[in-house]
Structure 1
Amino acid sequence: MGRFQFRLPDIGEGVAEAEVTVWHVKPGDTVREDQSLVDVMTDKATVDMTSPVDGVVLSINGEVGAMIPVGAVLVELEVAGSGDGEAEAARTAPPSSPEPAASRADPLPPVAPPVPASGAFVPRDITPGLAPVAAPSTRRRARQAGIDLRNVPATGTAGRITSYDLDAFLAHTPDGGGTAPVAERYARRSGVRDTRIIGLRRRIAEKMQEAKRRIPHIAYVEEVDVTQLEALRLDLNANRRSDQPKLTLLPFLIRALVRVVPDFPQINARYDDDQGVLHAHDAVHVGIATQTPGGLMVPVLRHAEARDLWTLAAELTRLSAAARDGTAQRDELGGSTITITSLGALGGIATTPVINHPEVAILGPNKIVERPVVEGQFITVRKMMNLSSSFDHRIVDGYDAALFIQRLKRSIEHPALIFMD
């Protein structure tokens, strides 16, 4: 018998270290070739490290959340033979292809898992030898709850079991939840749960902290009448072809943005504050802040200036789905020149969005509501929406920020302007 040292390989793109996010093995475990050993996260991707050999785990190095340099030993295995040659081969072998950062997050289910009228939860058929497809966090929760994931109905892409599927399963099993007795509902609670902020959540925290630390934000909120735009949107949706996607507010907002930003080149830009250089872009690459089960991600809709309403809507749908179900590619998660963040029906009255560093501006449309509006001597009901925004005050003066939003408002309130040359 020999010893085999599995080291963190060079993942590429200048990565010098990676964060341990999930261990799939422990000392004493027997592993087979290609079995998952550990997940590590770089700046933009989670990589599933698999064993190149059969063996028994002797030791694992690096607790969850630890940063491990390239070349450091991750796992030591006992293997048949001397082990030396195989270890050297593993150190020089290329790593498995990294998955995009969103790939470790469970997608939002399109529908809730089916529950019969009787309230009994029906597990899916168990196929011998069929391994369930689920994120490491979901598998860990299932193990802790003593749940066989093969019993859990899947609603995710390609049969993936999401965290919501597991929640639904636990809620409809005898030991998984239900309504607590009155005495329990009013009992005092004193527990404290400590959760280490690691992986994608830590990357988000670091990016938000950097943005607020480096960028002096100025916020601006304006009320916009979207009555005409909503009428146009509803009419276009009612008469669209079967191969055309449904239009939301965002394609119209992006088209208005594309028409306005050429007159404000300092806004469609990225500021390198280390070098003191502002990179003003002709192309409009719109970051779309998207909430996923794993946290906030910003896939990028590229060259919005070259797309019409329908192709914008189709690309928005594709990018949002890719971010949520983990199929977004690395080059789709960076390089935006301005970002839009929308909470949809939860949009509230106003927001103060955090700029996506190193950009200099971010837009946040809020929810649309019907409000009474004074028009001359009459009061009418109009569909109104607040448009929130934040700007880097080092680059964008308050006057220019207000002028930009007013120009955007005019295009939204008179949507014919969006399509005029």
Structure 2
Amino acid sequence: MFRRRYRAVKVAAVAAVAAVSLTLAACGGSSDTASGASGASGSAATQEGTLKLWHYESANGAMGIAWDKAIETFKAEHPGVTVDFERKAFEQIQQNAGMILSSDEGPDIMEYNKGNATAGLLASQGLLTDLTEQAQSRGWADKLSPSLQTTARYDEHGVMGSGNWYGVPNYGEYVMVYYNKDAFAANNIAVPTTLPEFTAAMDTFVAAGTTPVCMAGAEYPAGQLWYQLALSQADRSFVDNYQLYKNPVDFQNGPTAKGAEMFNEWVQRGYISGDSASLKAEDMGTAFIGGKCPVMISGSWWFGRLADEIKAFDWGTFLFPGSKLSLGSSGNLWVVPEASKNKELAYDFIDITMRPEIQNLLGNSGGIPVAADPSAITDPKTAELIKNFNTLSANDGLAFYPDWPVPGFYDVLVSGFQSLINQSKSPAEVMDQISGPYTEGVAAVQAG
């Protein structure tokens, strides 16, 4: 996600528009300008045109279920409007967003990753609509706590936490430990509350011939595990240094280096399979769902799908043992491209996703709503999920994500931790590999 040379990125994006437009034209419908737009969902019945909407949530995941209901509601309230919805792959949007939004073939509204390197980068390039006025007039700002607003607002350099609104989060998320309760019980393993207890549990599985941790080296999970291990050795000052550039980060010492050493130890002790270097997040998830490994360390975005698909065993979640900090933040953002032809319709759709009925559905489907009625959340597993998120949030334990600080860093992390999984590089070599792009990116951000 993280190279920061904005002018160079923007020029490259514009130069590639012609090629991207050919690809996008095959998948996009027409998007006529809405007429009679009033700026309020309740008076939108006379609107006409097309709302072009993209997101990357699975159909049976909590967000996918909620957004499908929101689309249904939008159609009922906007009978003259056609909704042209496309479900995209996360990587597809992640890698091509700049080029897509520089063209006239992009959506009117889309889900996009939050953080300096993603939404912040596009905002600084002028590719996203400033939503500040809408956030105030439509009440979005009133429904989101200051901590959840952090990822919605970006300054002129694209650094999160201040400035104008360029996105609207309507759910929370965090990384936790998913575990196979039946497998733990069969091996007489209690839910660990400390990191030594956790590693002892994994040693028990290894001794029984089971690789305990489902992993994917070809996408985000490996880098997120490294960051979680680093966080287990860190405090809030490390997060401020790493994410907000308060002080330089030494990748050969401190939490970053310790996290890499621990990751390497997990591979060498058999907690992680070397074969997972080439696997993607989907492979990791289906392995856990299929009972092939008893532990998956990943985000709440998996929760609804696991609840829907796991039939053969009982499962649960717990916070990463022995760490006050965890990966997490507000959820991804609804963003409105500056080139959107139907901004008022996009604002109306965001309004609908913030309504209690959609938020309650999100919560009862395994998501973490930001504007739900707590008494309406009926599932015990989901109630625990939300309770743990609230615990992290209340204790200032949300530490964002490892690829956020600078553009292009996502790919750097993937490459680096694939090398640790397949043991082609040492922890120190991997830290060297990722420290250069990080340091250069931070310098570019600070230079403006």
User: Which category of TM-score, normalised to the shorter sequence, fits these structures?
Assistant: under 0.3
- Relative to the length of structure 2, the TM-score reads 0.23
TM-score by length of 1: 0.24
User: Whose strand fraction is larger, Structure 1's or Structure 2's?
Assistant: 1
Structure with the greater relative contact order (CA < 8 A, sep ≥ 6): 1 or 2? 2
Asked which structure has the greater CA Rg, the reply is 1
